[in-house]
Structure 1
Amino acid sequence: MQADTPPGRYTRNRLTSFVNDDLTFDVIDEGPLDGTPIVLLHGFPQTATQWSRLTPFLHESGYRTIAPVQRGYSPGARPRGRFAYRISALVGDTTALITALGDGPVHLVGHDWGSTVAWATAAQRPDLVRTLTSVSVPHPMAFARSLVSSSQAFRTCYMALFQLPWIPEAVISAAFRAAGPAGRPGLRRRAAALSGLDEEQFDRVRRDIVDSGALSYALNWYRAMPIVDRRRAGQKVSAPTTHVSSTRDVFMARRGAELTAEYVTGPFGHEILDATHWIPEERPAELAAIILARTGGAG
């Protein structure tokens, strides 16, 4: 399968960083420089490295992948205070990245919190998004409705705990360090299993989030959740869209995925994989095939 012809002109220079709101964001730009860009937005508690098992499959099909290290995660993009992490600011970052790539819309993929940002970007800036593939987290309004019509509120009760100051940081940091290389191997295995991460992912989170000092800033994404623009929360997406959910996701109830079709006016598909919440790492080949099926239909 060959990548579709870009509808615009994109920079042929590697993009290693971009600037927005006087913040500098790191970027992992890989694959053929003349390929159609696919922008990949990571979630919590991960960075752009979460896509490393997936991107080779996209490169083989001729696509170029652009994975930013998002606000709070990039060392040069860690503003203080939860207001700086409201959805409009996160959409602004994605908009700045796409604009830095050149003249033309991109294929947009997001997982977890990255999916939430991708939904908002596709709704608010349809001119910048050719197709959308959301992974694990459904449309924001579908998620909100699932809170009162399924087990979703129970599955995400930790979000309320994350509103507390400093306590979540202390507990999470202590847990990761106790289960780190200098800790007890048995505890490390149990902690990884409890989170659904494999041991490589667990170590990467400890290194990239806890040890790097990004944790407090990453938690600000949750602390900014009460700052909601209700006029935009229910906006529908016109881009061709695929939502990907999984059978063993302990964080997401099925109901949100079932409701998501109501918030897409363009072509829509829902794919279900046998996986935990961490689909990009656990099922990279299958997820890549789903992304390619969606992007290939947009040319």
Structure 2
Amino acid sequence: MTQLSISTGAGVFDAIAAGPPEGRPVLLLHGFPQTGRVWRRQIAALAVHGYRVVAPDQRGYSPGARPPSADDYRFGLLVDDVVAISEQLGWPAFDLVGHDWGGAVAWWTAHAHPGRVRTLTVVSTPHPGALATALRTDEDQRRRSRYMIDWRESPATEERMLADDARELRGFFAGKVPRDSAEAYVRHLSRPGALTAALNWYRSGRPDSAIGAVDVPTLYVWSTQDSAFGPAAARETRRWVDGPYRFETLQGVSHWVPEEAPETLSRLLLEHLRAHGEF
């Protein structure tokens, strides 16, 4: 794998990449509280099969693209980052993969730019419309999502997460993420300004516009032990995809799917890409 610096109008994004430059392009988006490193196993698996894979550290996680205001983390701007990164890479179309917040951005990007997104794979995160429905109708999902409101406090949330040598931040991974990766994420977010930037994703307010159904070929992977997203929103997601749709449930796996079940996720991802055309 190689390190990249991708310069856009919004700043410079750090990224890791692998695979032949002429390979079919795949962009992978991480979530909170991780970085592009979360995709290392999937990057390696795809690169071996000839795909060109890039996983950027998203807005706020890349020091060179870290605006100070929570308003600078609105969904429209996060989607613009995806488009700008793909343009800098010379990719008029690409396969898009996202987990956690990266999954939310992936849903919005596929909706806003269906001509650019060849296929969509989302891990853990239900379609935003499905999540909104579940929040209105399902007490279990409302309970699971309360942390999103709690984390909007500033700077109390940062202070609590980083207290006692980042004990709370480390605790999120609960032994489900390899120790070296968990420590890398903690080091990254312990640097000045980094955790506030990451939490600004939660503090940016509601999206600028409504999102509808997506019509690109979609793979949605949900796990039964996910603490953030329950079965109601996962099942509801089918109603928000008009294109070819595949829903996979991983039994006994937590929220941290890319690192807890890397071989299974890589296999599903490769199957999805192969099912929907070659580059």
Return the TM-score normalized by structure 1: 0.86
Secondary structure at 1:67 match in 2? strand
Give the whole-Å Cα distance in 2 for the aligned partners of 1:237 and 1:294: 16
Give the whole-Å Cα distance in 2 for the aligned partners of 1:193 and 1:117: 22
Give the alignment of 1:143-154 within 5 angstroms: 143-150=131-138, 151-154=140-143
Q: CA deviation at 1:148?
A: 2.5
Q: 1:167 aligns with which of 156, 166, 178?
A: 156
Query: Are positions 1:132 and 2:120 aligned together?
Result: yes
Give the alignment of 1:221-232 within 5 angstroms: 221-224=201-204, 226-230=205-209, 232=210
Matched with 1:298 is 276
Q: CA deviation at 1:98?
A: 1.2
Aligned length in residues: 274
**Which structure: larger Rg?**
1
Cα 1:160–1:270 shift into 2, 3 Å: same
Query: Which residue identity does 2:208 align to in structure 1?
Result: D
Matched with 1:84 is 72
Cα 1:117–1:101 shift into 2, 3 Å: same
Matched with 2:223 is 246
Give the whole-Å Cα distance in 1 for the aligned partners of 2:164 and 2:137: 33
Matched with 1:9 is none
Cα 1:250–1:176 shift into 2, 3 Å: farther
**Does the aligned pair in 2 maintain the 1:15–1:29 contact within 8 Å?**
yes
Matched with 1:10 is none
Query: Which residue identity does 2:226 align to in structure 1?
Result: D
Query: Are positions 1:39 and 2:24 aligned together?
Result: no
Give the whole-Å Cα distance in 2 for the aligned partners of 1:276 and 1:199: 16
Query: Which residue identity does 1:270 align to in structure 2?
Result: F
1:107-134 CA distance string (max 9 Å, x none): 0000000000000000001111000000
Give the whole-Å Cα distance in 1 for the aligned partners of 2:10 and 2:177: 34
Cα 1:219–1:273 shift into 2, 3 Å: same
Matched with 1:216 is 196
Give the whole-Å Cα distance in 1 for the aligned partners of 2:175 and 2:267: 26
Q: 2:85 aligns with which of 97, 102, 120?
A: 97
Give the whole-Å Cα distance in 2 for the aligned partners of 1:178 and 1:155: 21
Q: 2:184 aligns with which of 204, 219, 226?
A: 204
Q: CA deviation at 1:100?
A: 1.6
Give the whole-Å Cα distance in 2 for the aligned partners of 1:174 and 1:49: 24
Return the TM-score normalized by structure 2: 0.92
Query: Are positions 1:69 and 2:57 aligned together?
Result: yes
Give the whole-Å Cα distance in 2 for the aligned partners of 1:247 and 1:135: 12
Matched with 2:235 is 258
Q: CA deviation at 1:239?
A: 0.6
Give the whole-Å Cα distance in 1 for the aligned partners of 2:220 and 2:232: 13
Considering only aligned residues, what root-mean-square deviation do their CA atoms show, in Å?
A: 2.0
1:235-287 CA distance string (max 9 Å, x none): 21111001000011111101111011111111001001131100000111111
Identity of aligned residues (%): 40
Secondary structure at 1:229 match in 2? coil
Give the whole-Å Cα distance in 1 for the aligned partners of 2:236 and 2:6: 35
